[in-house]
Structure 1
């Protein structure tokens, strides 16, 4: 470890088992979205995406809120804004929670999509930079409860939120 940066261990994050907690949460969010939208005719895309994104974001916000200070410290290690604005790590889980609730309630959908695109695009830049530098930390996206390495999977999560929000803008 050098200063604030942890150097990636050989092979860390290369096994599917390393991502079991994440895959479980993604699967539960998908099942919840299917259950929420089961009453909609013909599995409409907009309600299904809203339900999935809402459940996903609420779960991930909750994981961060269990140890807000610990999340802030980990988030500071790779997020570009959290490195510059001390309090952003404390605010971010509430932004994520607000977005999740907005998706679930269909509140101000266009604004919700744009905020999601901005927040997660910016977050993806920090992940790319950290991956390029070889940073090896447990992803704060799971809070301090579950251990999943910061990796391209984290980047995929961010980009998936951006892509789904962009798709929702076009529906």
Structure 2
């Protein structure tokens, strides 16, 4: 039996339960553009405010992870810099990596959030308790997301999501106060 709209949890209710926030990379943590050197190396550009948002989640006790289809030394460096300890790269089937992550952390799927932007993210987005998407995501992603940022991927969408989670879990004000006090 389908649930009625009145019994469907709001995005804020869903966000309030997130213990582990998982991110795709291309189109989420970056703008999706891929720059290649003459040697074939890939370069990516990350938003510093998005990175700070991920650090704030960790400070609030929300674990973070990355599941991405591409393999990149740049992503490994960025994950290490942000102290994201759960990193799955070169993943063909993201749901397999997601299930491994659940076993590794002991966190239930409904206590996870996932932010993705394109079809390879759909299977995981349909399993988590809180599915999020950048504003410029593929229409099929936007149709299935519980929450959509105003910002585009790589341009503050992750920070907007992090702030939303912190507000939903009533941790934003304490973190802001600590930042103001130095």
TM-score, with normalisation over the residues of structure 1?
A: 0.26
Which one has a larger percent helix, Structure 1 or Structure 2? 1
